[in-house]
């Protein structure tokens, strides 16, 4: 069985409809459909998808959990493990630079590569109250992610931002209960985008 570790912030946890198992042990709480992990397992019942998202965390806080939530999980479950990393929106919201996010993401990507863990590198999702400066910094991070992926094997880019964005409005959410996070349908669309990236890692051409 393939294990997928979803590592990230609120958009991995499933906010506002769901609290992850890290936030509400042991199994999480809320509407199961409000998390991409649920939809990935609907698409692939043979996949085990672990929701390791925490609402409000910055990329440095997510990186601090990488050993516990990803590397230790690999030791427990064996080599058939993929990590999907989506992080950075809270850094941007709190005024941190694009470069600081890129630094934290690179440390996580490098740690995964050194351990032989395939990575899906997701882009930062939009939120409706973002200022032009915040959107510029998010786009800078997402462009850097794509450049990093192009230069490194065993890492696949997933445009999770585009998956949930409004038609013709790439800096707005297409459907959201709070203007900050996707709806259950948005999380379903995220899962479909992530599925394509995961399959590329599992079935390399």
For residue range 13-24, what is the model confidence (pLDDT) as tens digits?
A: 999 999 999 999
User: Hey, which CATH number is domain 2-202, 3.30.720.200, 3.40.50.1110, 2.40.50.140, 3.40.50.1820?
Assistant: 3.40.50.1110
The tens digit of pLDDT for each residue in 169-203 reads 999 999 999 999 999 999 999 999 999 999 999 98
SS (H, E, C) 1-39: CEEEEEEECHHHHCCCCEECCCCCCCCCEECCCCCHHHH
Residue-level pLDDT at 196: 97
Annotated domain spans of the chain:
2-202
Which distant-in-sequence residues (6+ apart) come within 8 Å of 38 by Cβ? 14, 32, 49, 187, 191
First to last CA, the chain: 21
- Predicted model pTM: 0.96
Q: Is 174 exposed, middle or buried (0-12, 13-18, 19+ CB in 10 A)?
A: middle
Q: Is 42 exposed, middle or buried (0-12, 13-18, 19+ CB in 10 A)?
A: middle
């Amino acid at each position: 069985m393939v294990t997928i570790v979803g590592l990230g912030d609120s958009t991995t946890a499933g906010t506002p409809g769901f609290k992850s198992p890290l936030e509400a042990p042991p199994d999480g709480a809320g509407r199961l459909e409000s998390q991409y992990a649920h939809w990935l397992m609907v698409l692939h019942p043979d996949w085990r998808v672990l929701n390791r998202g925490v609402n409000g965390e910055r990329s440095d806080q997510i990186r601090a959990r990488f050993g516990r939530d990803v590397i230790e999980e690999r030791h427990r479950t064996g080599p058939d493990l993929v990590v999907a990393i989506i992080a950075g929106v809270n850094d941007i919201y709190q005024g941190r630079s694009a470069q600081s996010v890129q630094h934290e993401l690179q440390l996580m990507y490098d740690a995964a590569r050194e351990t032989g863990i395939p990575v899906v590198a997701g882009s930062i999702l939009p939120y409706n109250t973002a200022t032009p400066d915040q959107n510029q910094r998010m786009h800078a991070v997402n462009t850097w992610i794509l450049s990093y992926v192009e230069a490194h094997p065993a890492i696949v880019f997933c445009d999770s931002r585009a998956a949930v964005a409004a038609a013709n409005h790439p800096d707005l959410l297409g459907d959201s209960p709070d203007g900050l996070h996707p709806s259950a349908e948005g999380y379903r669309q995220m899962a479909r985008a992530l599925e394509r990236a995961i399959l590329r890692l599992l079935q390399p051409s």
